[in-house]
Amino acid sequence: MLTSLSSAVSGLDSFQEDMDVIGNDIANVNTTGFKAANVDFADAFSETLRAPGGASSTTSGSASVEIGTGVTITGINNNWNQGALNTTGVVSDLAISGNGFFMVRDTVTSAQYATRDGAFSVDANGYLVTDTGERVQGYSDAGLTTLGDIKIDTTGMPATSSPTATVQSYAINGQGQVTVNLSDGTSFVRGQILLQNFQDPDELTNEGNNLYSNTAAAGPLAALTAPGSSGLGNVQAGALESSNVDLSGEMANLITAQRAFEANSKIITTSDEVLQTLVNMKR
């Protein structure tokens, strides 16, 4: 009888966590680049009442008799499938069409993070940054040889350009190359946004603000790589990747989890009634 109680309690705990995950997914249905999570369940350790008996030439074997002790959660894994790409028309908004992550750097700690959220902007110093100030990484020079912070300015402009020319506009192509258009009508490639990918993205740790750390443990590529190569997707400027949360599917999962939670609570109630009957038998 106590086994049914403990099994039901494990069910309550597990399905409560399942509802927590579903609730977080639904809450982030409009979060740029958000990846939905799924809960993986497994049966808990079973109590063996009778060990299996081996067969012999004169006797038949006997099966083991086991009673499970409930359910446990083996993992909470993200669904890394790409979300829909929505056009914004903002030149600094970037989306990855395919595999890969943008890499951004915290200017205070120098820690680097992966992200699928390409809602970038150009700060007062000309750097391409996230909403929270991390700088986008790639080739930071016009020669496309030096890794660092992507900056949009006149550094590296052609000798044929006017020394007094200023940045008029810029554009980012599918391979991440940043072309700066100057006020004198000339233009040049200022740098290139590079991407990273991981063999096991489930090893990434969510740090909030759509940033992921623990990149070394996730099995990164040997180096940051140009979009459109090594299995990486292309960069689409003027667009953002929406959340890949399937709202209708999540609502169905929520109903299932709710009913499972209620069923486990009913097991506790029934077990309590049986125990109460046993106690009252002495009267």
Burial of 50 (0-12, 13-18, 19+ CB in 10 A): exposed
Distance between CA atoms of residues 114 and 129, nearest Å? 13
Domain ranges of the chain: 2-49+66-80+245-280, 85-241
Query: In this predicted structure, what is the pLDDT of residue 112?
Result: 98
Q: Write out pLDDT tens, residues 196-223.
A: 999 999 999 999 999 999 999 999 999 9
CA atoms within 13 Å, Cβ hemisphere of 39: 23
* pLDDT score of 281: 82
> Taking the C-alpha atoms of 151, 156, 158 and 161 in order, what is their torsion angle to the nearest 10 degrees?
70
139 forms beta bridges with: 147, 192
Q: Report the C-alpha gap between 216 and 241 in whole angstroms.
A: 25
Please tell me the distance from the alpha carbon of residue 29 to that of residue 35, in angstroms, as a whole number: 9
pLDDT (0 to 100) of residue 52: 73
Phi and psi, residue 282, nearest 5°: -75, -20
- What average pLDDT does range 102-116 have in this prediction? 97
Amino acid at residue number 39: V
Of 51-65, 134-148, 179-193, the range with the lowest mean pLDDT is 51-65
- Please compute the mean of the pLDDT values over residues 250-268 and round it to a whole number: 95
pLDDT score, position 5 = 86
Count CB atoms within 10 A of the CB of residue 52.
12
The DSSP call for residue 243 is P
Instruction: Lowest mean pLDDT of 53-57, 93-97, 224-228, 229-233, name the range.
Output: 53-57
Q: Is the pLDDT of residue 59 over 70?
A: no
Per the prediction, the chain carries an average pLDDT of 93
| Mean pLDDT for the stretch of residues 243-272 | 95
1, pLDDT greater than 60: no
According to DSSP, the β-strands at 205-208 and 195-196 are unpaired
Tokens of 95: 């989306």
* Percent helix, percent strand, percent coil in the chain, to nearest 5: 25, 35, 45
Query: Which of 167 and 61 is assigned the larger pLDDT?
Result: 167
